[in-house]
Amino acid sequence: MFVSSDAAKLTSVILGFKSLMKPFDWSYTLAPNLPAAMQGILESPIPMLVGISRELLHSIREEDSLDQDSIDSKTWVFLDKDEGPLSNNLSYQNL
């Protein structure tokens, strides 16, 4: 899960990350910029490369629409240098 407030950066990083896997093919969920209407896919237990806008992540946290198990089962990478995890009780990585 990649998080950024810049949609172009999200798309570039997700597609770049996918191309680094060659000669392997990514055959799972790939969403460079996940729309809010599809946020339910975040609870899926399948592997995924997903880009999430910072605003969508804020709304997910405010609504508590993502349970702690779903949060803990994912690796979260924040791409914005000046922004980090939303709270201390979430298991996010800031790279």
What is the per-residue pLDDT across 33-66, written as a single tens digit (0 to 9) for each? Answer: 999 899 888 888 888 999 999 999 888 878 777 7
Q: What is the mean pLDDT of the chain?
A: 82
Global pTM? 0.76
Q: What is the CA radius of gyration of the chain?
A: 13
pLDDT class of 85 with cuts at 50, 70, 90:
low
SS3 content of the chain, % helix, strand, coil (to 5): 40, 15, 45
